[in-house]
Amino acid sequence: MKPGKVYLIGAGPGDPGLLTIKGRDCLALADVIIYDYLANPVLLGYAKPDAERIYVGKSRGHHSLPQEEINQLLADKAAAGLNVARLKGGDPYVFGRGGEEASLLHKQNIPFEVVPGVTAGFAAAAYAGIPLTHRDITTSLALLTGHERPERKLSSLDWEKLATGLGTLIFYMGMTNLKKISAKLIEHGRSADTPVAVVQWATLPRQKTLTGRLDEIAALVAAAKIEPPAVIIIGEVVRYREELRWYDNLPLFGRRFLITRPYAQATSFVALLQAQGAETICIPTIEIAPPTDWQPCDEALLQLGSYDGLILTSANAVDAFFERMNIKGLDLRALSGVEIIAVGPKTAKAIEKRGLKPDFVPNNYRAEGVVNELLSRGVSSKCYLYPRTEIARTLIPDSLSKAGAQVDSPIVYRTLAPEGKQEMIRHLLDANELDAICFSSSSTFDNLHAMFGEELQQLKKETAFFSIGPLTSETIRKHDFEVALEPENSTLDDLVTAMIEYYSEE
């Protein structure tokens, strides 16, 4: 059997946006993903749905699988004809033991390819606001490990040259030996007041950066209880941090939010929050399902050209409706002469992705806005198609019907409570690890409340509830919960803006 290929992929330091395009593409090809403790699990989303996922992570004192067995696992999976992605934190060839893995593959005639990643030292410096080189200070740097083989300890390092011959020193895996590293450098000539930065969880919203003098940094780290994973940066360039820091100055830096939207709909919201420095945890409290009966929708599609207007009030409705059109053999020509009405900009964008431009979007991004706009134009004797969710309010069909219009409102999707999410959310709430939960619809709150009942009052502790708009807020308050934040307009962009203002005032 012809062996598969092994891709040794650098996952980068933690921020999933720092994965290279080639790394992403290789993940998508793989039949097996073998990943590390320091590789962001979010990256597994690039894998094929049926790809096997094997965790072999190693953290201090905990080894899921010895390195020798990892090496052989790569070879065995590839020998079985499978393409294997070995996803490693940082860069495979910078203190990542990628050389050992590649050597075994070479010996067993297994084809492999190395995909470089952003190494933790470079990323930690950039995200902490520290230029590793600066022509006014130093043009040299060294990458070192502070954790060698146990029998060698730190004896193999030439401390005199490190202390006096190089500008910037970056130590990986050196937290356990930080006191010894500092002492050795001072002993061999490095000034005791040399600035040092210790960057923990670099590039992630939980990143912490501690600075101090070389002779005091070990004590400061111990007092702050900073533990691995962390990178140690030693040199005069650290003094630039206060001037050049940017990441931990982002308005939502260090904040952690639970996103309750389905994964497919949460992507843009998550990206908006992460761009402001926030950490997002997406655990959907709803999932989208087709209706139990497509017949009412199919009957409407048979007479699509007879409608005066098509009213769409969510991206889910857009997706479900147009996909059903496609299944029934219809294309955009079937909507010729039909006015396309979108409830808000996000729905309008979803329509535009389908190749159509909405005829109007009301100023008030709610069903009330659609109704007021249509009534102001006159709807008597007109016929509208309103594809909707199973639990949609009856405001649109009731209001337009009273004004003399005919409204057909077939169900095109349902929102269900997903299974297996309760304990994940319980852990976050019990541990008080969330700043806020973001609710994008009444259903997202209703399903969360159904999971916990009144127990939710005790679980939420200091966790705030943020709502997308008035209807969602009304649902939350109906159960005697406080809404900490609601944007003026019911859009995710406005919600993020309101969140930034909320924490800036705090």
Q: Which residues pair with 394 in a beta bridge?
A: none
Positions marked active-site: 36, 58, 173
Using the 8-state DSSP alphabet, how is residue 189 labeled? Answer: T
Q: Are 221 and 175 a contacting pair, CB within 8 Å? A: yes
Q: Is 465 helix (H, G, I), strand (E, B) or coil?
A: strand
Please report the pLDDT score of residue 168 as a whole number.
97
Could you tell me if 306 and 336 are in contact, meaning their C-beta atoms sit under 8 angstroms apart?
A: no
Q: Name the fold adopted by 256-286+417-505.
A: Rossmann fold (3.40.50)
Q: Which two tokens stand for residue 74?
A: 């790569």
Q: What is the model's pLDDT at position 410?
A: 97
**Which CATH class, in words, describes the domain spanning 122-247?**
alpha beta
What is the predicted pLDDT for the residue at 23?
A: 96
How far apart are alpha carbons 450 and 335 in whole angstroms? Answer: 40
Which has the closest alpha carbon to 282: 49, 127, 482, 440? Answer: 440
Helix (H, G, I), strand (E, B) or coil at 288: strand
Domain 6-117 and domain 122-247, same fold? Reply is no
Please tell me the distance from the alpha carbon of residue 205 to that of residue 281, in angstroms, as a whole number: 12
Domain boundaries, the chain: 6-117, 122-247, 256-286+417-505, 289-414
pLDDT at 149 (0 to 100): 53
Residue whose C-alpha is closest to residue 198's, from 154, 228, 240: 228
Q: Give me the DSSP letters along 13-24.
A: SS-GGGS-HHHH
134 DSSP β-pair partners: 138
CATH of 289-414, one of 3.10.180.10, 3.40.50.10090, 3.40.47.10, 3.40.50.450: 3.40.50.10090
- Which pLDDT score is estimated for 60? 54
Q: Which CATH fold would you assign to the domain 6-117?
A: Cobalt-precorrin-4 Transmethylase; domain 1 (3.40.1010)
- pLDDT per residue rounded down to tens, the chain (506 residues): 889 999 999 999 988 889 999 999 999 999 999 998 777 777 888 898 899 999 987 655 555 688 999 999 999 999 999 999 999 999 999 999 999 999 999 999 999 999 999 999 999 999 999 999 999 999 999 999 986 554 455 667 889 999 998 899 999 999 999 999 999 999 999 999 999 999 999 998 889 999 999 999 999 999 999 999 999 999 999 999 999 999 999 999 999 999 998 887 888 899 899 999 998 988 899 888 999 999 999 999 999 999 999 999 999 999 999 999 999 999 999 999 999 999 999 899 999 999 999 999 998 888 999 999 999 999 999 999 999 999 888 999 999 999 999 999 999 999 888 887 888 888 888 888 899 999 999 999 999 999 998 889 888 888 999 999 999 999 999 999 999 999 998 888 999 999 999 999 86
pLDDT of 62 reads 55
Residue 229 DSSP label: S
